[in-house]
Amino acid sequence: MRGFLVLLVSAVITGSVSLSRLTLNVSKEVKVLRGQDALLGCNFTHPMQGNVIGNIQVSWSRDPKAGPFLVCEVNSTAPEPYCLNVEGYSLVGDLRQGVSWLLIKKALLQEGVYFCKVNMENDQAQEQLTLRVQVMPSILSLSLVNVGPGNQTRLQCVAEGDPLPDITWLSESGRPLASALAANVRTSLAGPNRLSSSVPYEQQGELTCRAKSDLGQVELKHRPPISLRESRNQTAVVCAGVAAALLMLVAVVVLVHRLMVKGRNQNAQIQQNVAERSLQSSHRPPGGATELQTVYSTVTVSQACGGVSITRQQQGVLYSTVKLQ
């Protein structure tokens, strides 16, 4: 009798009764992604499982003191259980076989504690479960903001997720930011399951915000204004055009130089050939006869010296030495 009183007092204090003949089997924590259906299992066993004469009742509540939001009951004569429930919740399974599941359609804000209670053959038992609605990482916004006393422009990324994601900034090359810029990243909580991160932005090109957790990752890119991108594109086009023009100019100069050298060589060869032919034609008249040319000389007789001296006076005229006997 004393043991029964202790058990009764314990049931009143904890709100849970666990009799030896009725045993509940539940998952203490159930995880589901936001927007997906959730199933909370509450299976039970009893010695009279297959020979139930009375009713089997399963009820679900968020707070035992506030009453259940779903009650299903079945007996040996009814083919289907009779349920009283609210929208978005339903019971699936076979109560006669001790199989009971609470189905929550498209779980969003239903996270928290649930209580499953079973009444059967004057026995009852209750167990507690926890539903955790997890959220895939997502980026809610990526925009430029002006903050601080100096009205500094920063690129701000707001992301959410459960578990809370980590935010990483990537440069235009897809790599983490340089240490100097990464040192100025500011990250803080922005609400339940939300994180805000910002980095100084001075038109340094494209930056990427990456939010990552155990459930996955997501990225969002910030591109410079169209005018800035067009200016950069135009600059790149101009630089490419200038480089191409310089290459063409170098090629033309090299080609002209080679042609000039080749022309000079050809002219020199032509002039040499003409000179040789002219010289041959001047010494050999037509027909191959020997040409007789007049030879001029100037002779001065010097008795004092007893010799003869010859003075050549005109270039291009043939002279010969003359001896006087």
Q: What is the pLDDT along the chain (325 residues), one digit of tens a residue?
A: 333 333 333 344 344 444 458 899 998 999 999 999 999 999 998 877 666 667 889 999 999 888 899 999 988 677 677 888 778 899 998 888 889 999 998 888 888 999 999 998 788 899 999 999 999 999 999 999 988 777 789 999 999 999 999 999 999 888 988 888 888 899 999 988 999 999 998 876 899 999 999 999 999 999 887 644 454 445 555 556 667 777 788 777 777 778 787 777 777 777 777 666 665 555 555 555 444 455 454 544 444 444 444 454 555 555 555 554 4
- For residues 225 and 206, the answer to whether their CB atoms sit within 8 Å is no
Q: How many structural domains compose the chain?
A: 2
In this structure, the answer to whether residues 30 and 77 fall within a common structural domain is yes
Of 99, 50, 96, 100, residue with least CA distance to 74: 96
Residue 287: phi, psi to the nearest 5?
Answer: 90, -5
Enter the DSSP assignment of 87: T
For residue 26, tell me if it sits in a domain: yes
H or E stretch at 262: helix 226-283
In this structure, the answer to whether residues 127 and 177 fall within a common structural domain is no
- Report pLDDT for 240: 64
Domain around 99 = 15-134
- Report pLDDT for 74: 87
In this structure, the answer to whether residues 164 and 126 fall within a common structural domain is no
In this structure, the answer to whether residues 197 and 90 fall within a common structural domain is no
In this structure, the answer to whether residues 75 and 159 fall within a common structural domain is no
For residue 139, tell me if it sits in a domain: no
In this structure, the answer to whether residues 68 and 126 fall within a common structural domain is yes
**Last-in-domain residue among 224, 248, 276:** 224
For residue 282, tell me if it sits in a domain: no
**Last-in-domain residue among 224, 244, 272:** 224
Structure tokens at 232: 């950069």
For residue 34, tell me if it sits in a domain: yes
- For residues 129 and 27, the answer to whether their CB atoms sit within 8 Å is yes
From the number of C-beta atoms within 10 Å of its C-beta (0-12, 13-18, 19+), residue 236 rates as exposed
In this structure, the answer to whether residues 180 and 119 fall within a common structural domain is no
For residue 281, tell me if it sits in a domain: no
In this structure, the answer to whether residues 40 and 106 fall within a common structural domain is yes
- The CATH number of whichever domain residue 47 belongs to comes to 2.60.40.10
In this structure, the answer to whether residues 174 and 218 fall within a common structural domain is yes
- Report pLDDT for 234: 55
In this structure, the answer to whether residues 94 and 30 fall within a common structural domain is yes
H or E stretch at 3: helix 2-14
In this structure, the answer to whether residues 187 and 128 fall within a common structural domain is no
**Last-in-domain residue among 170, 203, 224:** 224
In this structure, the answer to whether residues 46 and 116 fall within a common structural domain is yes
- Report pLDDT for 97: 85
**pTM assigned to the model:** 0.57
- Report pLDDT for 8: 38
For residue 201, tell me if it sits in a domain: yes
For 60, 107, 154, 284, the CA distances from 89, given in Å and listed in that order, are 10, 10, 46, 128
For residue 252, tell me if it sits in a domain: no
Neighbours of 154 (CB within 10 A): 19
For residue 260, tell me if it sits in a domain: no
196: β partners: 158, 188
